[in-house]
Structure 1
Amino acid sequence: MALRTCFALGTLALAALQALAQDSSSAAAQTVTVTGRTQANASVAGFNGVPIGKLPMSATAIGTDQLADAAISTLADITRLDASLSDAYNSPGYWSSLTIRGFVLDNRYNYRRDGLPINAETAIGLANKQAIEVLKGTSGLQAGTSAPGGLVNLVVKRPVAGLRSAAIGVEQGGSVGASLDLSDRSGTNGATGSFGWRINADAEKLDPQLRHAEGRRHLLALAADARLGPGSLIEAELEWSRQRQPSLPGFSLLGSRLPDAGAIDPRTNLNNQPWSLPVVLEGRTASLRYTHELRPDWKLSVQAMTQRLRSDDRVAFPFGCSAENNYDRYCSDGTFDFYDFRSEGERRDTDVLDAALSGRTTLAGMEHRFTVGLMATRLDARFNRQAYNWVGVGHIDGSAIAPADPTLTDENTNRDERSTELRLQDQVAITRDTTLWAGLRSSKVERASVRTDGSRPTDYEQTLSTPWLAISHQLSPATMAYASWGQGVETEVAPNRARYLNRGQPLPALKSRQLEAGLKHRSTAVDAGVTLFDIRRPLWADIGSCDDDGTCIRRADGEQRHRGIEAEAEARLGAFSLRGSAMLLKARIEGNSNPSVEDKRPTNVPKIALKAQAAYNVPTLPGLALLGFVSHEGDRAVLPDNSIVAAGWTRIDLGLRYAMKAGPTTLTWRAGIDNVADRRAWKETPYQFSHAYLYPLAPRRAHASLNVQF
Structure 2
Amino acid sequence: MASPFPSISPAAATPRLNSLCAALLAGGLCANAWAQVAAEKSATPAATSATSAPATTATSPGAAEPNTALPQVTVRGSNAQAALSVGGFGDTPVAKLPLQASVITSDQLADRGLHSLAGLASMDASVGDSYNSEGYVSYLKIRGYDLDNRFNYRRDGLPINAETALPLANKSSLEVLKGTSGIQAGTSAPGGLVNLVVKRPTVELTSVTLGVSERGTVEGALDWSRRFADSYGNNNAFGLRVNLAAAHLDPEVRSAKGDRWLMAVAGDWRLTSATTIEAEVELSRQSQPSQAAFSLLGTTLPDAHSIDPRTNLNNQSWSQPVVFEGRTASLRVQHQLNADWKLQAHGAIQRLVNDDRLAYPFGCTGADGTYWASSYCPDGTFDQYDFRSDNEHRNSTALDLSAQGRVMLAGMRHDVTTGVLFSRFYSRLQGQAYNYAGTGDITGSLPTVADPSLTGSNTDRDEHNTELYLRDAIQLSPRWQGWLGVRHTRLNRGSFQVNVAPGEEARTHYRQSVTTPWLGLSYAMDPELMAYASWGEGVESDVVPNRTDYANQGQSLPAMRSHQWEVGLKAGHRSVDWSVNYFDISKPTTRDVEVGTAGQLLRRLDGTQDHRGLEAQADFKWQDGGLQASAMKLHARRNGSSDTSLNGLKPVNVPETTAKLLGRQRVWIPGLELQAGVIYEGRRMVLPDNSLSIPSWTRLDLGARYEQAIGRQTLVWRVGVDNVTDRRAWRESPYQYQHVYLYPLAPRTWRASVEWVL
| AA matched with 2:740 | A
Q: How does 1:290-689 map to 2 (within 5 A)?
A: 290-323=333-366, 324-452=370-498, 453=500, 455-544=505-594, 551-618=600-667, 620-689=668-737
Alpha-carbon separation, structure 2, partners of 1:541 and 1:159: 50
Provide the residue aligned with 1:695 in structure 2.
743
Q: How far has the Cα of 1:580 moved from its partner?
A: 0.2
**Alignment deviations for residues 149-197 of structure 1 (CA, whole Å, 9 cap, x no partner):** 1000000000011100000000020000000000011127999711000
**Counterpart in 2 of 1:183?**
225
How far apart are the structure 1 equivalents of 2:455 and 2:662? Answer: 50
Q: Which letter does structure 2 place at the counterpart of 1:671?
A: V
- Aligned equivalent of 1:200, options 236, 239, 243: 243
Structure 1 range deviating more: 215-224 or 575-584: 575-584
Question: What letter matches 1:447 in structure 2?
Answer: R
Q: How many Å separate the matches in 2 of 1:230 and 1:575? A: 40
Q: Secondary structure at the match of 2:164?
A: coil
Instruction: Determine the structure 1 residue equivalent to 2:285.
Output: 242
Which of 37, 50, 56 is equivalent to 2:79? Answer: 37
* 1:581-610 deviation digits (Å, cap 9, x = unpaired): 000000000111234432111000000000
Equivalent residue letter for 1:598: N
2:175 pairs, out of 130, 133, 150, with 133
User: What is the CA distance between 1:348 and its match in structure 2?
Assistant: 0.1
Cα pair 1:421 1:442 within 8 Å, conserved: yes
Deviations 1:528-583 (A, max 9, x none): 1001000000001101169x856211100110000000001111122321110000
Partner of residue 229, structure 1: 272
Query: Is the partner of 2:110 in helix, strand or coil?
Result: helix
Q: Secondary structure at the match of 1:60?
A: strand
Distance in structure 2 (CA, Å) of the matches to 1:561 and 1:533:
11
Tell me the distance in 2 between the aligned counterparts of 1:240 and 1:311: 14
Whether the aligned pair in 2 keeps the contact of 1:36 and 1:63 (CA below 8 Å) is no
Question: Is the partner of 2:337 in helix, strand or coil?
Answer: strand
Q: What is the rounded CA distance, in whole Å, between the counterparts of 1:29 and 1:630 in structure 2?
A: 32
Partner secondary structure for residue 628 of structure 1: strand
2:414 and 2:737 map into 1 onto residues whose CA distance is 48
Over the residues paired in the alignment, what is the CA RMSD in angstroms? 1.5
Q: Pick from 164, 169, 179: which aligns with 1:122?
A: 164
| 8 Å CA contact retained: 2:575, 2:621 | yes
The reply to whether residue 162 of structure 1 matches residue 162 of structure 2 is: no
TM-superposed deviation, 1:30: 8.7
Q: Deviations over 1:504-540 (max 9, x none)?
A: 1111111000011110001111101001000000001
Structure of greater relative contact order (alpha carbons < 8 Å, 6+ residues apart): 1
**For residue 642 of structure 1, what is the amino acid of its counterpart?**
N
Looking at structure 1, the residues matched to 755 and 567 of structure 2 have their Cα atoms a distance apart, in angstroms, of 42
Contact 1:89 1:688 in 2 (8 A): no
Retained in 1: the 8 A contact 2:595–2:602?
no
Structure 1: tracts of 5 or more residues without a match: 1-27
Residue type matched to 1:77 in 2? G
Q: Name the residue aligned to 2:215.
A: 173
Q: Report Cα offsets for 1:448-483 as digits up to 9, x if no partner.
A: 000003511000000010000000000111000000
Aligned to 1:22: none
Distance 2:327 2:340 in 1: 35
Task: Return the alpha-carbon distance in structure 2 between the equivalents of residues 378 and 351 of structure 1.
Answer: 5
Q: CA deviation at 1:626?
A: 0.1
Residues 642-676 of structure 1, C-alpha deviation per residue, up to 9 Å, x if partnerless?
Answer: 10010010001000000011112100000011000
Q: What is the SS of the residue equivalent to 1:78?
A: helix
SS in 2 for 1:44: helix
Which whole-Å CA distance do the structure 1 matches of 2:74 and 2:614 have between them?
A: 31
How far, CA to CA, are the matches of 2:357 and 2:600 in structure 1?
A: 34
Note the 1:79-98 alignment, pairs <5 A.
79-98=121-140
Secondary structure of 2:292's partner? coil
Q: In the superposition, relative to structure 1, how do residues 549 and 413 fare at CA in structure 2: closer, same or farther (>3 Å)?
A: farther
For residue 151 of structure 2, give the secondary structure of its aligned residue in structure 1: coil
Distance (Å, rounded) in 2 between the aligned partners of 1:76 and 1:550: 41
CA apart distance, 1:32? 7.8
- Which residue identity does 1:687 align to in structure 2? Y
The CA distance in 1 between the partners of 2:729 and 2:460, in whole Å, is 38
Contact 2:538 2:563 in 1 (8 A): yes
Identify unmatched segments of 5+ residues in structure 2: 1-70
Question: After superposition, what is the alpha-carbon deviation per residue over 1:416-441, rounded to whole angstroms, capped at 9, x for unaligned?
Answer: 00000000000111111101000000
For 1:55, the equivalent position in structure 2 comes to: 97
| Contact 1:500 1:550 (8 Å CA) reproduced | no
Q: Provide closer, same or farther for how the CA distance between residues 545 and 209 of structure 1 changes in structure 2, counting only shifts above 3 A.
A: farther
Structure 2 counterpart of 1:283: 326
Task: Give 2:12's aligned residue.
Answer: none
Contact preservation (8 Å) 1:29, 1:659: no
What is the alpha-carbon distance in structure 2 between the residues aligned to residue 385 and residue 594 of structure 1?
A: 37
Question: TM-score, normalized by length of structure 2?
Answer: 0.88
What residue identity is the alignment partner of 2:153?
A: Y
For the Cα contact (< 8 Å) 1:29–1:622, is it kept in 2? no
Deviating runs (4+, > 4 A) in structure 1? 28-32, 188-192
- Whole-angstrom CA distance in 2 between matches of 1:191 and 1:545: 74
Once the two structures are TM-superposed, the CA of residue 37 in structure 1 deviates from its matched residue by 1.9
* Counterpart in the other structure of 1:262: 305
Contact 1:250 1:695 in 2 (8 A): yes
Q: Give the Cα separation in 2 of the matches to 1:422 and 1:78.
A: 31
Alignment identity in percent? Answer: 52
> 1:705 and 1:499 mapped to 2: Cα distance?
56
Letter of the 2:749 partner, please give it. R
Between the aligned partners of 1:520 and 1:438, the Cα distance in structure 2 is 19
CA distance in 1, matches of 2:598, 2:213: 55
Residue number in structure 2 paired with 1:15: none
- Alpha-carbon distance change, 702 to 455 in structure 1, aligned in 2, over 3 angstroms: same
Distance 1:557 1:85 in 2: 27
- TM-score normalised over the length of structure 1: 0.94
Opposite residue 102 of structure 2, the aligned amino acid is T
Mapped contact 1:31–1:617 kept (Cα < 8 A): no
Displacement of 1:29 after TM fit?
Answer: 11
Distance 1:551 1:389 in 2: 27
CA distance in 1, matches of 2:650, 2:610: 10
Distance 1:29 1:395, change over 3 A: farther
Q: Is the 8 A contact 2:78 2:619 kept in 1?
A: no
Distance in 2 between residues matched to 1:438 and 1:192, nearest whole Å: 41
